[in-house]
Amino acid sequence: MAKRDYYETLGINKDATPEQIKKAYRTKAKELHPDRNSDKPDAEAMFKEANEAHDILKDPEKKAAYDRYGHAAFEGGMGGGRGGGQGDFGSAFSDIFEDLFGGGGFGGAGGGRQRASRGSDLRYNLRVSLEEAFSGLQKTISVPTSVSCSTCDGTGAESGAEPTHCPTCSGMGKVRAQQGFFTVERTCPTCSGAGQIIKNPCKACGGAGRQQKDKSLSVNIPAGVETGTRIRLGGEGEAGLRGGPTGDLYIFIEVSDHPLFQRDSQHLYCRVPVSITAAALGGDIEVPTIDGGKSRVKIPAGSQSGRQMRLRNKGMPQLRGGGSGDMFIELAVETPVNLTTRQKEILREFDEVAADNNPQGSSFFSKVRSFWDGIKS
């Protein structure tokens, strides 16, 4: 069967422009695609025919050969008309996808046309003391980052010249290669997928449109921050490539350990050592508070190690308002060391007369005796 004229297949004239050829092919491809014509057995053959016609007519050299010799120009292995047209669904669907959604086919080839790309987000770890976390502070930090090149205003081109379309990929950012039945797309090696090249790159930034520099920023650390608190500074990250939007800076807070206070959320704990006599007789002690002041705490007579007393609203402030936590004083009764002979005598005398003054010991050993008696019986 004689092959149809390629121009007739696409419904165009011989003097059609490349844009008209492409538009006509897309219309035919969408109309004849087998997935949309499952009830028409000849749709696949007609789709391949349209694909073959487009493969020849879109190439200026192949089109000139066809205009001069017709189908004979590609018979007997002369050119790739037949081989390229049979079953090239990947190439065809890529063009249809681009027409419908404005993309560049599979793999995001259309994205290659965008010369600008967003800068990366940056992370900065900031350590503060517990006192600083309590009161909040304004802190100046120095962040190593990429900033927009002041010489070329971020364009990457010398003297403000505009980038030009990459001649290798015609601005698509990807190149196609025919491998038998399949059409394979790869990132353009000339423009690295950007779709554009800079003939005269800026000498200051090498064509990137940005330079490495330390940026000084003033950061407001609110009162009540904890380890893991994240503060976002919009637009203070890495500058975009060739004038693209700037990324964000994320500051992660780490609160240092404190020699006196332990923190649990908004509450503070302070372990205070007291003497045996103070614990036994009771009395008043002064304890430090996180704001730098002091509070007087009354120790009840007969206090044991581990006993806690609460100081309300003496803890850490709630982040973004909402009151403060509490501070808990935990008593640690100390056993005296390095006793003198006289001190030992006094303690022995006290022990002889204090048999009924140890309620916890009496209760414990009473339970021990019951335990042993239960085993024996």
CA-based nearest residue to 328, from 265, 280, 283 = 265
Q: Where are the beta strands (DSSP E) in the chain?
A: 122-128, 137-148, 164-165, 174-179, 182-187, 196-197, 210-221, 230-233, 249-255, 262-264, 267-274, 283-288, 294-299, 308-311, 327-333
Phi, psi angles (nearest 5°) of residue 338: 55, 50
What contacts 323, CB < 8 A, 6 or more positions away?
313, 317
The DSSP result for 125-153, as a single string, is EEEE-HHHHHH-EEEEEEEEEEEE-TTTT
188 is in an annotated binding site: yes
111: part of which helix (H) or strand (E)? none
Q: How far apart are CA 343 and CA 277, in angstroms?
A: 13
Q: Is residue 270 annotated as involved in ligand binding? A: no
202 is in an annotated binding site: yes
149 is in an annotated binding site: yes
Residues facing residue 305 across a β-bridge:
none
| 191 marked as binding residue | yes
Give the residue ranges of the annotated binding site: 149, 152, 166, 169, 188, 191, 202, 205
For the annotated binding site for Zn(2+), the residues are 149, 152, 166, 169, 188, 191, 202, 205
